[in-house]
Structure 1
Amino acid sequence: MLKKISPLFLLSIIIFSMYSCSSTKHINLTVEEKPLPIAKQTSIVSPPVKVEKIYSVGPVSYRAKIFIYNDTLFIGSTNKHIYMINLRTHDIKSFDIKEPIEAEIYADNYIYVGTTKGQLLKMDYKGDIIWKKQFSFPIVGSIVEGGGYLYVTTTNNTLYKIDKLDGKIMWEFHRNTAPMSVKGFSVPVITNDAIYIGFDNGMLYKLTKNGDEIWEVKVGKGELFVDVDSKAELTSSHVYATSTTG
């Protein structure tokens, strides 16, 4: 019959075994602390923002811009529609012009819109076409108005001055593009006596109102992807512009 084992003897064996099996002769204890719950962060700077969906206008090109005239928002989409949204009542009108739009629409008493197939249209607010002009290259830039004329840029590096009344082309200014470009578009800046515009060849130009070159300056460095797509900014004595090469 086995003799009853003393508890003290059993504890001595356990302690001896632990020290014998450890090369460091230490017992490592790890204490894990329960992480505190993450406090919800609230901003005391940003005011509350109310987001309101006015209307779904379908696919819109990254080149397109919103134009607002007389409390009406104009936007063209690549699903071939012009959308007009009244900003007070949110009433919506849309016209199907059969061609995708990537240019900024211009509007006053009429609506002027360019398409990716090179058409420039003048329309009334009922959607009836007053006149239309066909170009050889897409109109993808901004349509700018100045002194009763429209200034329109096409993808082959050409700026046109067009009579708003009848669509007559007054002149065109063309320069060869760079071997490779990002096909962006500089918005022409119209002053009392000059026009400033950048092209994909890396140049910024100053023109007379008759379309004659006054000067050109190299802005983009190198020969590839040197586009001057920025809108020039003017002060009393300087002109500022950037290129895609920085």
Structure 2
Amino acid sequence: MKTIRSLLAGFVILTLVACGKTTKTDFFGVEEEAVKPKVNTTTKLKRNWRLSLGDKIRPGDAVLSPALFGDNIYVATVKGKVDKVVASTGKRVWRAKIDKERITAGVGVGSGLVLVGTNDGYVHAFKQSDGSQAWKTQLDSEVLASPVVGSDVVVARSGDGKVYGLDTFDGEILWTISRQLPKLTLRGESRPVVTQGVVFSGFSDGNMAALEAKTGRALWDFPISFARGTNEIDRLADVDTDPLLVGEYLYVTSYREVTHALNIQAQRIDWSAEVSSFNAMAYDAANLYISDRHGVIHQLDRKTGEQRWKQEALRLFTTSAPASIGQYIVVSEGDGGLYVLRKSDGSLVGKHKLGAKSIIGQPIVDDGNVYFLDSDGSVQSISIGESS
């Protein structure tokens, strides 16, 4: 059953990727043709630096998002490389290497550690200072969500539905909880969120759980997405997108359902919006930005969930997770284009060459710069401004 699940989930993902170039294709054939929009570009792109990691990213590879901690970027490749890079210059500080394993989850950073997970079920912890290995711990299945550090606990998730609490000092397994998987799931797991001694984790059955970080004790569950339909494809309810914690709210979206604003203090859902995605969300002081599974970009009011605008010009393209930078939103469209949207009304105000096919994973925004991994296996730093 595990093999069937992986093959079917992989097929779903490849189907979604395949529809990004020129057509939307499902199990029954071509439905619509995607047409690239014409853009009157009024922005300029500054490429601060680009560092090749040496390994291109192929369809079906793990989605490994970079992490920013202090003045450095931490990034990994599927083929076992883990790098520490100076954020301001793109200079590599150190490289660690994992032999005979493929990295399937990462990167997590904190408590002096850099963390990744592998296809063999190992969580590897490297020292932030010099890249030497601090410890490694084997779980029961491959690791498909980036390990997260919270206080004295590393929280990791495996592909068989389990969540683990590991000791940050030596990787000892402190606790384990398990959830039964549906017959069919998307390949991947949402990254846990750890705050104030509580772990929040989404599951493939459509639920969001709150756990005590020290013990793994279940505190409460919320249904986020419901299985609907007459076949297993229609009934996909995965919460695979990383939850977004902003203040007292945890914003959660799922593959086929809605986006919720979960008030974690009051333990209630304050609003829901009919927008779903498998991409990470972006935000600013007032709004959420979501690139949905059809390639449409949405701006939602963070307090009410009201949709302020949506941009459909990239519909049917495989748009990346959005990045919020100043007055702009930036997304890639899967065929080498980097598009800039104005936040005030969602209008397209820029199209630039990405330098690769697409952005991989979740971009990082800091001090006016966007950092991201691209499909050519490079880390880039860019900034966006008005053209002179």
Q: Normalization by structure 2: what TM-score? A: 0.48
Q: 1:91 to 1:151 in 2, by over 3 A?
A: same
> Counterpart of 2:378?
none
2:208 to 186, 204, 219: 204
Higher-Rg member (1/2) = 1
Unaligned residue ranges in structure 1 (runs of 5+): 1-40
Q: Aligned to 2:238, what secondary structure does the other structure show?
A: coil
Paired with 1:203 and 1:163, the residues of 2 have a C-alpha distance of: 26
Q: Deviations over 1:6-48 (max 9, x none)?
A: xxxxxxxxxxxxxxxxxxxxxxxxxxxxxxxxxxx864x42x2
Paired with 1:236 and 1:77, the residues of 2 have a C-alpha distance of: 32
Q: Does 1:231 align with 2:231?
A: no
CA drift at 1:177: 0.7
Paired with 1:193 and 1:82, the residues of 2 have a C-alpha distance of: 28
Paired with 1:68 and 1:176, the residues of 2 have a C-alpha distance of: 33
> Counterpart of 1:142?
146
CA drift at 1:71: 1.7
> Counterpart of 2:17?
none
Q: Does 1:65 align with 2:54?
A: no
> Counterpart of 2:163?
159
> Counterpart of 2:47?
51
Retained in 1: the 8 A contact 2:116–2:146? Answer: no
Q: 1:135 to 1:89 in 2, by over 3 A?
A: same
Retained in 2: the 8 A contact 1:63–1:102? Answer: yes
Within 5 Å, which residues of 2 pair with 1:213-224? 213-222=218-227, 224=235
> Counterpart of 2:190?
186
Amino acid across the alignment from 1:74: Y
Unaligned residue ranges in structure 2 (runs of 5+): 1-38, 229-234, 258-388
Q: Deviations over 1:96-147 (max 9, x none)?
A: 2112213122234332222122111222344432221112211121221111
Paired with 2:203 and 2:216, the residues of 1 have a C-alpha distance of: 15
Q: Deviations over 1:56-102 (max 9, x none)?
A: 11234452101122322111111221122222343223222112213
> Counterpart of 2:323?
none
Give the length in aligned residue pairs: 205
Task: Considering Cα pairs closer than 8 Å and 6+ residues apart, tell me whether 1 or 2 has the greater RCO.
Answer: 2
CA drift at 1:167: 0.8
Paired with 1:152 and 1:70, the residues of 2 have a C-alpha distance of: 23
Paired with 1:242 and 1:148, the residues of 2 have a C-alpha distance of: 28
Q: 1:216 to 1:129 in 2, by over 3 A?
A: same
Retained in 1: the 8 A contact 2:154–2:165? Answer: yes
Q: 1:236 to 1:42 in 2, by over 3 A?
A: closer
Q: Deviations over 1:154-189 (max 9, x none)?
A: 111111111111111111111001110103312222
**Percentage identity across paired residues of the two chains:** 22
Q: 1:77 to 1:205 in 2, by over 3 A?
A: same
Retained in 2: the 8 A contact 1:63–1:141? Answer: no
> Counterpart of 1:104?
106
Q: 1:166 to 1:52 in 2, by over 3 A?
A: same
Q: Does 1:95 align with 2:92?
A: no
Paired with 2:66 and 2:88, the residues of 1 have a C-alpha distance of: 16
Paired with 2:254 and 2:201, the residues of 1 have a C-alpha distance of: 12
Q: 1:225 to 1:51 in 2, by over 3 A?
A: same
Q: Aligned to 1:204, what secondary structure does the other structure show?
A: strand
Would you tell me which structure has more strand in proportion to its own residues?
Answer: 2
Amino acid across the alignment from 2:87: L
Paired with 2:40 and 2:224, the residues of 1 have a C-alpha distance of: 45
Q: 1:119 to 1:239 in 2, by over 3 A?
A: closer
Amino acid across the alignment from 2:102: P
Q: Does 1:118 align with 2:140?
A: no
CA drift at 1:234: 5.8
Q: 1:199 to 1:82 in 2, by over 3 A?
A: same
Paired with 1:67 and 1:136, the residues of 2 have a C-alpha distance of: 26
Amino acid across the alignment from 1:81: K
Q: Between 196-205 and 85-94, report the one with greater CA deviation.
A: 85-94
